[in-house]
Chain A
Amino acid sequence: MKMQPLIVVLHVLMVVVFGLLGWRLFYLQHCQADYYADEAYSSLHAYTRQEPQRGRILDSGGVGGRVLAASNKIQTVFIDPGVLGHWDDVMETAGALQDVLGMGAMEICDMIAERRTRRFVAIKEGITEAQREAIVAANLRGVGIQSQYRRYYPMGALTSHVVGFIGGNTDPNDFDKIGLSGAERSYESLLKGSRGNHVFLVDKRRYPIGMDTKRSVAARDGSSIVLTIDSTIQEFARSALMKQVQAYQAESGAAVVMNPWTGAILALVSLPDYDPLEFGKADIGRLRNRALTDPFEPGSIFKPIVVAGALDKGLLHTTDRIYCEDGYYEKYRIGEWAGHRFGNMTVKAILTESSNIGMAKIGQKMGQKNLYEVVRLFGFGQPTGVDLPGEDAGSLRPTNEWSSYTITRIPYGHEISVTALQIIRAFAILANGGSPVTPHLVRAVVDDKGEVTQVSRRANLAGHLIKQEVAEWVVREALTNVVNEGTGKEAALEKWQTWGKTGTANIATNGKYDTVNYTASFVGGAPADVPQVVTLVTIRKPNKALGKGYSGGRVAAPVFREIMEKTLTYLEKNQR
């Protein structure tokens, strides 16, 4: 080939080569960009996590609320045994730490020896700032300081069932503790906050060059929640209940104090209880919030509800007189408590004297369908929707499963099981004039910037489940009379007109009732005209053998009286 054409060919060839290289660049930088970005991500980036501070749980008492649960930052000294290859290194490090931490070097060595294969051995938690500085200054190999949040429960066992506890992992390296019970669990998503992730670009040695702001997310602290609980009232309820549970050697007890107008729970106690920081050591039975997890046959405290329903439906009139079979209703095998023999009784008297036969006959007057509807109307057989985990629905069988006796049993609180919360909700409805309420625990949610983001729902006082005059008659006439003249005399207070209903229910063991195990209850409120609070006390299995009594009027009513007296005094003083 001649020279000139060859030169042209070679040069053109080079231009073509550059063109192909341009295409290669296009392929790499457009088509393959994402692939290589993924490939390189981990080698070009490093990240540090930032733990959010879990929100606080406050009560409604005092000024601005008292702390029921809070997370504080603590510093933990740890050793990475993987870095300390030789045992001499461990000894040396332990020796350097012993003076700073005030721990024995041998003790530290033992801790490491036990967990030789781990990469993280916590040596001491909650060190002081001076200790932290000393350790940083010493610049010891394999020794690190980690900050983490630690949950505190200043009220301890007092609010244990309401506040709950967090846990889930005992590994100190794992921050992912979640609410396992109480408000800690039901408000987990609000309290938790979100973890921050700071992404850095790093060089080959993994030293940071700069921050990748697009990928970095700042931690967001959890929201705090303000409970409707007032720890002062909680304390009244707990101490009163505990006194009685101990005095009667009872198996367990529950007390609930509620604002009948809003459904706000002011106190909720379940005994026995536990220390939230030591929940792992507590007996499993202590962890249950019995006010909502343990349904029971309510007994006589159920009577006012059926009466209110019957009156509301017009199937019963306050002026009606009912024949109480002179103490034994043979057809349905029903007797009266303590062997009473009643003749013709008014509705008011039936409630005052707590006549089972009278109630059975009211049930018969109503018929299956209406009775079922009334019980259902007051929310039995379904959860109340309280913002606490583990709520039981109780049991109310549909009418097609009823026996011929059922219609006579439900009116006096048998063949149905309910939770304490369902009962107090029903009494709140009676107390507020028949409006539905939802029991709830949280009054407000305050986000990490201090803004109130959520306020609790109020009761729907415009709507009525039952007629107002019916609810008022039951409370002001019948239930007031129970305290003044009937079975609930122990619940009477001088300063306020209390009202309520006693209940002494047999407990079925293996399908049979006995004469040893009872549930003693009292539920009511005060004052009678505009009730401020409703309170329920239920004590399971008071020891009958002590000979001090076992009835609701005897065991539960004094607890009710103490709680009410202190609470009403407290509320009057604080004028909330």
Chain B
Amino acid sequence: MITAAKDSRIAYLIEAAVLLLMAMGTVFVFSAGANVSSSYSFRHFYQFTTLKQLFFFPLAVAILYGASRIDYRWFSFNRSGPKRSLAAYMLGVSIVLLAVVLLFGTEKNMARRWLVIPLGPASVSFQPSELAKWSMVFFLAAFLDYFADTVHLFWKRFVPICLIAGLVVGLIVTQDFGTAAFIAMLTFVMLLIGGARWWHFVVPALAAAPVFVAAVMASPTRINRIKAFVSPELASPANLYQAQQSLIAIAGGRTWGKGLGMGISKYGHLPEDTTDFIFSIIAEELGFAGALFVVLVFALLVILGLTVAIRCRDRFGKLLAAGITLTIAIQAAINIGVVTVVLPTKGIPLPFISAGGTSMLLCAAAAGILVNIAKQNPAQILLARRETIRHMTHAAKNESELPTLHRTPTRLLTRV
């Protein structure tokens, strides 16, 4: 067994990037929550998105560090079988909670997405679909690792996993189309990475297509959103409004922004300004500089995640690292695509930044697991190389004898 190295720069960088994004999120949820007429009262503490986020930030940091201490192999089926894997239980709990929320959930904006647990004067609301999303990623990583040799079998492996995914997506799709579609997409990506044959997807795609069309057609808002996106000139002003306001906010930021807290769009002009459209507020207040910075941090996170996946020496870790990274990245890309009106309007939060406790805490936990993978699989080649160079430098008598980095026989040094 390989022991964890004490030093992992990649782990630090991931932590730094995530903390930076969460800090920006907290600041901007606070900024976007500004309201001229509202008065704060401690009794309604939990109802104020702004204050709630201030409370969630330290909690998310704690969870990030806590999760980074959990050995990611606890989620693997290979460690001691599927029955003792956290991933399997997570998925089980998710499915139960999804069923519960469908039956007893609290309706907000015409959809049952929330479980509200009363806690004295306040209450905690929880979004099971967020948990289900991460559970699917973890479960798929474990499944595809465990059945690595047989994953190409259509009936024995591909169909059962599709049924499980279908159950999760089916429980969510009526209430939260965006998240359901996103989970389906993640399942596809994970299966592709895990070695499923591409032609296997033809069957579920054929099965899913009518369901998808039916789901779209069942909801007039969805049809309108898609229509509005495909042909803006035909859409009603109400459909265009949110997208238009988002563009106004972003364009209004210009190069350096209006200044932190100086945006106007948050004063009722842009709906969902603290949640799905928080990025527009960042772009308005910090301008192109700030918005591009956020995009670059996400891109950096992708590169860091990729490095972790490549360096990881076990199949499960590779699958999980890639799964976590791609989940965060795709979600961020979809969200930014929506607010910049490259994609049709769809309720997907921006990871680490959008207001919403469930999303933020679970993202932090997932990032913590990614950090753990990074810590357990440090860049040993580089470390070894550096040591060697130091020794050789000592031995060198003059500059001409100094070795060059690329000539170092890395193969020999790999297992120091």
B330-369 interface bits toward A, Cβ cutoff 8 Å, 1 = contact, 0 = none: 1011001100101000000000000000000000000000
Contact of A29 (CB < 8 Å), options: B192, B264, B283: B283
B326/A10 in contact, CB under 8 A? yes
Central interface residue in B37, B195, B254, B267, by most chain A CB within 10 Å: B267
Contact of A36 (CB < 8 Å), options: B252, B291, B332, B340: B252
Q: Tell whether A317 is near chain B: CB-to-CB under 8 Å.
A: no
B337/A3 in contact, CB under 8 A? no
Interface residues of B in 157-173 (CB under 8 A from A): none
B249-263 interface bits toward A, Cβ cutoff 8 Å, 1 = contact, 0 = none: 011111100000000
| Known A-B contacts A4-B318, A7-B306, A29-B283; A14 and B330 likewise in contact (beta carbons under 8 Å) | yes
B244/A39 in contact, CB under 8 A? yes
CA distance A22 to B294 in the complex (A): 10
B181-202 interface bits toward A, Cβ cutoff 8 Å, 1 = contact, 0 = none: 0000000010011110000000
B contact residues around A284 at 8 Å (CB): none
B292-303 interface bits toward A, Cβ cutoff 8 Å, 1 = contact, 0 = none: 100110110011
B264/A14 in contact, CB under 8 A? no
Residue of A nearest to B303 (CB): A15
Q: Tell whether B22 is near chain A: CB-to-CB under 8 Å.
A: no
Interface residues of A in 20-51 (CB under 8 A from B): 21-22, 24-26, 28-30, 32-33, 35-37, 39-40, 43-44
What total of A-B pairs shows CB separation below 8 Å? Answer: 128
CA distance A4 to B287 in the complex (A): 37
Contact of A7 (CB < 8 Å), options: B253, B292, B295, B310: B310
Interface residues of A in 191-211 (CB under 8 A from B): 201-205, 207, 209
Q: Tell whether A17 is near chain B: CB-to-CB under 8 Å.
A: yes
CA distance A400 to B308 in the complex (A): 107
CA distance A6 to B248 in the complex (A): 38
Q: Tell whether A137 is near chain B: CB-to-CB under 8 Å.
A: no
CA distance A204 to B194 in the complex (A): 49
Q: Tell whether B88 is near chain A: CB-to-CB under 8 Å.
A: no
B268/A205 in contact, CB under 8 A? yes
| Known A-B contacts A7-B318, A18-B333, A209-B264; A29 and B326 likewise in contact (beta carbons under 8 Å) | no
CA distance A209 to B267 in the complex (A): 8
B333/A21 in contact, CB under 8 A? yes
Residue of A nearest to B148 (CB): A3
B248/A40 in contact, CB under 8 A? yes
Residue of A nearest to B271 (CB): A204
Q: Tell whether A385 is near chain B: CB-to-CB under 8 Å.
A: no
CA distance A37 to B247 in the complex (A): 10
Number of residues on chain A facing chain B (CB within 8 A):
37
Residue of A nearest to B304 (CB): A11
Contact of B295 (CB < 8 Å), options: A8, A21, A33, A204: A21
CA distance A482 to B298 in the complex (A): 105
A contact residues around B342 at 8 Å (CB): 21, 24
What's the least CB distance linking A270 to chain B, in Å? 58
B contact residues around A22 at 8 Å (CB): 292, 295-296
B contact residues around A28 at 8 Å (CB): 247, 250-251, 283, 340
Q: Tell whether A19 is near chain B: CB-to-CB under 8 Å.
A: yes
A25/B283 in contact, CB under 8 A? yes
CA distance A179 to B319 in the complex (A): 83
| Known A-B contacts A11-B303, A21-B337, A29-B255; A204 and B310 likewise in contact (beta carbons under 8 Å) | no
A25/B340 in contact, CB under 8 A? yes
Q: Tell whether B14 is near chain A: CB-to-CB under 8 Å.
A: no
A438-450 interface bits toward B, Cβ cutoff 8 Å, 1 = contact, 0 = none: 0000000000000
| Known A-B contacts A24-B342, A25-B291; A40 and B310 likewise in contact (beta carbons under 8 Å) | no
A29/B310 in contact, CB under 8 A? no
A contact residues around B303 at 8 Å (CB): 11, 15
Q: Tell whether B18 is near chain A: CB-to-CB under 8 Å.
A: no
Q: Tell whether B269 is near chain A: CB-to-CB under 8 Å.
A: yes
CA distance A533 to B133 in the complex (A): 101
CA distance A74 to B114 in the complex (A): 59
Q: Tell whether B329 is near chain A: CB-to-CB under 8 Å.
A: yes
Residue of A nearest to B195 (CB): A3
B contact residues around A32 at 8 Å (CB): 247, 251
How large, as a class, is the contact surface on chain B?
Answer: 35 or more
Residue of A nearest to B336 (CB): A21
Contact of B269 (CB < 8 Å), options: A10, A19, A21, A204: A204
| Known A-B contacts A3-B193, A28-B247; A11 and B325 likewise in contact (beta carbons under 8 Å) | yes
B contact residues around A12 at 8 Å (CB): 306
A29/B306 in contact, CB under 8 A? no
CA distance A24 to B333 in the complex (A): 12
B contact residues around A203 at 8 Å (CB): 36, 264, 267-269
What's the least CB distance linking B20 to chain A, in Å? 16
What's the least CB distance linking B288 to chain A, in Å? 4
| Known A-B contacts A7-B309, A30-B288, A40-B252; A15 and B193 likewise in contact (beta carbons under 8 Å) | no
A contact residues around B195 at 8 Å (CB): 3
Q: Tell whether B322 is near chain A: CB-to-CB under 8 Å.
A: yes
Contact of A11 (CB < 8 Å), options: B287, B292, B326: B326
CA distance A24 to B338 in the complex (A): 12
| Known A-B contacts A14-B333, A15-B302; A30 and B244 likewise in contact (beta carbons under 8 Å) | no
Residue of B nearest to A36 (CB): B251
Q: Tell whether B222 is near chain A: CB-to-CB under 8 Å.
A: no
Contact of A207 (CB < 8 Å), options: B36, B306, B340: B36
A contact residues around B299 at 8 Å (CB): 14-15, 18-19
Q: Tell whether B227 is near chain A: CB-to-CB under 8 Å.
A: no
B contact residues around A36 at 8 Å (CB): 247-248, 250-252
Residue of A nearest to B284 (CB): A29
B contact residues around A33 at 8 Å (CB): 251-252, 254
A7/B337 in contact, CB under 8 A? no
A506-544 interface bits toward B, Cβ cutoff 8 Å, 1 = contact, 0 = none: 000000000000000000000000000000000000000
A207/B309 in contact, CB under 8 A? no
B296/A18 in contact, CB under 8 A? yes
What's the least CB distance linking B353 to chain A, in Å? 14
B contact residues around A11 at 8 Å (CB): 302-303, 305-306, 309, 322, 325-326, 329
B252/A37 in contact, CB under 8 A? yes
B193/A7 in contact, CB under 8 A? yes
CA distance A17 to B252 in the complex (A): 23
B contact residues around A19 at 8 Å (CB): 299
A29/B267 in contact, CB under 8 A? no
What's the least CB distance linking B255 to chain A, in Å? 7
Given known contacts A3-B319, A18-B329, what 16 new A-B pairs fall within 8 Å (CB)? A3-B194, A11-B326, A11-B329, A14-B329, A15-B303, A17-B329, A28-B283, A29-B291, A32-B247, A33-B252, A33-B254, A36-B247, A37-B252, A43-B269, A203-B269, A205-B268
Q: List 23 A-B contacts (CB under 8 A).
A: A3-B195, A7-B306, A10-B322, A11-B325, A14-B330, A14-B333, A15-B299, A15-B302, A21-B295, A22-B292, A24-B340, A25-B283, A25-B288, A25-B291, A29-B255, A29-B283, A30-B288, A32-B251, A33-B252, A36-B247, A36-B251, A44-B248, A204-B269
